[in-house]
């Protein structure tokens, strides 16, 4: 009882330190919670930054791959320019000769309608198109198309349209054939000699209106 009375009488001695200890415990608990919370926030920021870095690295790899693909396409384009397309001065006459010969091999006689040339704005190449009128049996026309598609002169069948003839009494079929090729340049002197019409971009726009 005396001990209890002594604690009671001396409360002012031990109560303040006890309260201080309790306050310190509460403060430390709060500080620990704040530190843990800040640590969690920082961890999330670090994780987000790592994700951003990963995405950037992926974009960088994709960009590097795209650049490589572009360079490969450029190399292939240069190869096509040098080996298959060539200049108009060197290839135009051999192309026309080859088209006419293959048409005759199919048993047809091509009648020239027009020669035109225009510059392709997308590729920079010059597209040359020869339009012919053909009359013959269906099998002959089909063989003509096959022979032209086998041409080493880069012959492209642009259009094949039926030409009607109300007075026709035979089984022959009349068609209009447009066959094209591409050149790396435009030789206007040769075009004038062969009667090739140059189609400008302005003419194409007006014609399309």
pLDDT > 60? residue 179: yes
What's the confidence (pLDDT) of residue 66? Answer: 75
Question: What are the structure tokens assigned to 2, written together?
Answer: 């005396």
What's the confidence (pLDDT) of residue 1? Answer: 47
Domain borders along the chain are: 2-82, 88-208
CATH pick for 88-208 out of 1.20.1250.20, 3.30.70.20, 3.30.70.60, 3.40.50.720? 3.30.70.60
What's the confidence (pLDDT) of residue 148? Answer: 94
pLDDT greater at residue 123 or residue 107? 107
Q: What's the whole-model pTM score?
A: 0.59
Burial string for 81-96 (b: 16+ CB within 10 Å, else e) reads beeebbebeebbeebb
Give residues with Cβ within 8 angstroms of 186, minimum separation 6: 88, 117, 119, 126, 198
């Amino acid at each position: 009882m005396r001990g209890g009375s002594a604690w009671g009488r001396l409360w002012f001695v031990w109560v303040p330190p006890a309260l201080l200890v309790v306050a310190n415990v509460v403060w430390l608990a709060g500080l620990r919670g704040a530190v843990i919370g800040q640590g969690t926030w920082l961890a999330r920021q670090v994780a987000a930054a790592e994700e951003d870095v990963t995405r950037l690295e992926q974009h960088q790899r994709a960009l590097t791959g795209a650049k490589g693909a572009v360079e490969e396409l450029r190399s292939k384009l240069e190869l096509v320019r040098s080996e298959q397309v060539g200049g108009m001065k060197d290839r135009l006459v051999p192309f026309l000769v080859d088209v006419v010969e293959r048409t005759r091999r199919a048993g047809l006689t091509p009648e020239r309608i027009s020669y035109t040339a225009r510059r392709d704005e997308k590729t920079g190449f010059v597209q040359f198109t020869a339009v012919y009128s053909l009359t013959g049996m269906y099998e002959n026309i089909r063989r003509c198309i096959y022979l032209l598609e086998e041409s080493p002169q880069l012959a492209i069948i642009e259009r094949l349209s039926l030409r009607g003839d109300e007075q026709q009494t035979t089984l022959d079929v009349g068609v209009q054939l447009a066959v094209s090729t591409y050149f790396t340049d435009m030789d206007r002197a040769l075009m004038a000699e062969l009667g090739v019409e140059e189609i400008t971009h302005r003419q194409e726009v007006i014609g399309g209106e």
